[in-house]
Amino acid sequence: MSKKALVIVDVQNDFCPGGTLAVPQGDDVIKPLNKMIAYARQHNWLIVASRDWHPMVTNHFQEYGGLWPIHCVKDTKGAEFHSDLKVDEITVVSKATEPDQDGYSAFNGYKDDGQTLKEFFESNDIKKVYIGGLATDYCVKASAVDAVKLGFETFLLLDVCRAVNLKPGDGEEAVKEMIDLGVKVINTREVQNEKS
C-alpha cells in the first residue's frame, strides 16, 4: 500500500510571535499540528518538517536587495523549530541554504543525508501529501504547488496554516491559486476522521 506524507512547513521561531518575521498567530498552528503528528505517526505516515536555513548573507534579505528582514539564519535561535512543536524523530529538510535562493518550497531542500524531498517521497512510495505550516502565502503555497506539479495528490491542511499577509488577503488569494492548480483543501480534524 502506498504511504501518505505529512509536511510541516517552517514552524520556526522567527516565523512565530516574537520572531523577526512573525506570521500573525503563527503559533496557533502548533497544538493542532502536534495532534496531526501523533495521528500520522500512529498511521505510519512519513513525517517531514522543513526549515528555512539561510546563510547570513543572502539576497533573500532586504539588506542585500531582497524582500525580507533577516530571519532563520542557520544555527541561530530564530531558525530553530518552535520548542512546543513535537519534532523529535521527524525527518528534517533544510532549504534556502544558498545565498542566491529564496527557497520557498520544501522541494528546494535536502535531508541531512543529501537526499531531496522528491527522492525521499519516491523511495517511500508516497502518493498523497498533506501540507501545513507557515506561511500560507509563501512557503506553504510553493511547497503545495511543487507537490501537485510533481504528481502527488496534494492536500492543504487549512486549519494549520497562517499567512504573512504583506497585503491583506494574500493568504486567501494563495489558497485560491493552490485550488486552481489542483490542491485539495481539508482540515486536520477531517483527516483524522477519514477511514483510510
Smallest gap from residue 161 Cβ to ligand VGL (A): 10
- Whether residue 141 lies in the annotated active site: no
Is the separation of the CB atoms in 134 and 140 below 8 Å? yes
Nearest to 21 by CA among 67, 89, 83: 67
7, 29, 135, 175: which one contacts ligand VGL (CB under 6 A)? 135
State the catalytic residue, choosing from 10, 14, 27, 102. Answer: 10
CA distance 13 to 81: 6
Query: From CA 88, how far away is CA 67, in angstroms rounded?
Result: 32
Q: Which of 14, 16, 27, 95 is catalytic?
A: 95
β-pair partners for 95: 52
User: Residue 24 CB, nearest distance to ligand VGL (Å)?
Assistant: 13
- Where helices occur in 60-196 by DSSP H, the ranges are 117-123, 141-149, 170-180, 188-193
* Residues in 68-87 that interact with ligand VGL by CB under 6 A: 68
Does 95 qualify as catalytic in the annotation?
A: yes
**Complex with ligand VGL: residue 99 or 122, whichever CB lies closer:** 99
- The amino acid occupying position 15 is F
Known catalytic residue at 28: no
Q: List the catalytic residues.
A: 10, 95, 139
Q: Residues in the site for ligand VGL, rule: CB under 6 A?
A: 10, 15, 52, 68, 134-135, 138-139, 164
